[in-house]
Amino acid sequence: MMKFDTAAISQQLGVTKTPLLPPVTTWNPELSGDIDLFINRQGVWFHEGTRFERHSLAKMFSSILRKDGDEYFVLTPVEKWRIKVEDVPFVINHLMLINPGPDQILELQTSLGDRVCVDAEHPLWLKTDAATGEPSPYVRVRDRLDALLTRSVFYELINLATERNIAGKIQLGIYSSAQFFTLLDDVDASQV
């Protein structure tokens, strides 16, 4: 059985030498197995039940993360390890508004320092829990990897939101990169 070696992976990737992300979408190694890496809903990384204490280590592993189907993997050109993710692998904890007004752009930052501008390639959407009715806002970070917005960032978005009336239904949402992203829709305009 192969052993998961973090030092060897760091050396193979040379991640600390370059800020560019490795081309994980082009790597196709055979599955090496499952490892006890887990990312909880708050975006915290754990190995064998112990929280990653070094931010740089979590950041390095996030750079070699890929989603295939409904499963998540960390991989190198020669190894592919399946990991567990509770919800999505990233959490947005900071919002910056660039050029406020009609041409505004929302720039979001993950807890690991990744930045993404909300646009067609990085859409913002809302999922509502069927059991509780609680909304959860998400954004695409890269490839098929998404981030959950923290409650505080979501409240910031709600404060920036505008209404749009389409065919008697009000949509509450926000503009970014010349597009409207709906946060709440199908509200009867006569009841607002």
pLDDT in tens, 26-44: 999 999 999 999 999 999 9
Q: How far apart are CA 161 and CA 104, in angstroms?
A: 12
For the cut 90, the answer to whether the pLDDT of residue 68 exceeds it is yes
Cα–Cα distance, 26 to 143 (Å, whole number): 12
More confident residue, 17 or 133: 133
Which residue type does 100 have?
P
Indicate if the pLDDT at residue 131 is higher than 70: yes
* Residue 9 in this model has a pLDDT that exceeds 50: no
Task: Return the pLDDT at 10.
Answer: 42
Separation of alpha carbons 18 and 9, rounded Å? 15
Q: Rounded mean pLDDT of the chain?
A: 87
Q: Mind listing the domains of the chain with CATH numbers? A: 6-85 (3.10.540.10), 90-187 (2.30.270.10)
- What's the predicted TM-score (pTM) here? 0.83
Instruction: Label residue 190 by pLDDT band (50, 70, 90).
Output: very low
> Does residue 189 surpass a pLDDT of 50?
no
- Is residue 15 scored above 80 in pLDDT? no
Mean pLDDT of 172-182: 92
| Span 109-124, pLDDT tens digits | 999 999 999 999 999 9
